Amino acid sequence: MPDKQKITVLGSTGSIGVSTLDVIARHPGLFRVVALTANSQADKLFLQCQQFEPEFAVLLDADAAQQLQSKIAAAGLATEVLHGVEALERVSSLPQVDSVMAAIVGAAGLRPSLAAARAGKKILLANKETLVMSGRVFMDAVRASGSGLLPIDSEHNAIFQSLPRDFGRGLDAVGVTRILLTASGGPFRSKALSELEHVTPAQACAHPNWSMGRKISVDSASMMNKGLEVIEAHWLFDAPAERIQVVVHPQSVIHSMVEYADGSVLAQLGNPDMRTPIAYALGFPERIHAGVSPLDLFKIARLDFEAPDLARFRCLDLAYQALRCGGTAPAILNAANEVAVAAFLDEKLPFLGIPSVIEHALEQITSAPVNCLEDVQQADSLARKVASECILRQGAGAFTPHPSPLHDGARAIGSAPGGDASCGHTPH
pLDDT tens readout for residues 111-170: 999 999 999 999 999 988 899 999 999 999 999 999 999 999 999 999 999 999 999 999
Pick the CATH number of 312-428 from 3.40.710.10, 1.10.1740.10, 3.40.50.10420, 3.40.50.10490: 1.10.1740.10
pLDDT top residue among 208 and 324 = 324
User: Is the pTM above the cut of 0.75?
Assistant: yes
Q: Which residues pair with 259 in a beta bridge?
A: 178, 265
Domain 5-152 top-level CATH class: alpha beta
Domain-wise residue ranges, the chain: 5-152, 312-428
> How far is it, in rounded angstroms, from Cα 190 to Cα 180?
21
Interval 5-47: pLDDT, tens: 999 999 999 999 999 999 999 999 999 999 999 999 999 999 9
Average pLDDT over residues 383-401: 76
CB of 22 closer than 8 Å to CB of 47: no
- pLDDT of amino acid 208: 62
- pLDDT of amino acid 415: 29
Amino acid (one-letter) located at 425: H
Strand order in the sheet with 99-102: 80-83, 56-59, 31-38, 5-10, 99-102, 122-125, 149-151
Residue 223 has a CB neighbour count (10 Å cut-off) of 29
Average pLDDT over residues 352-359: 96
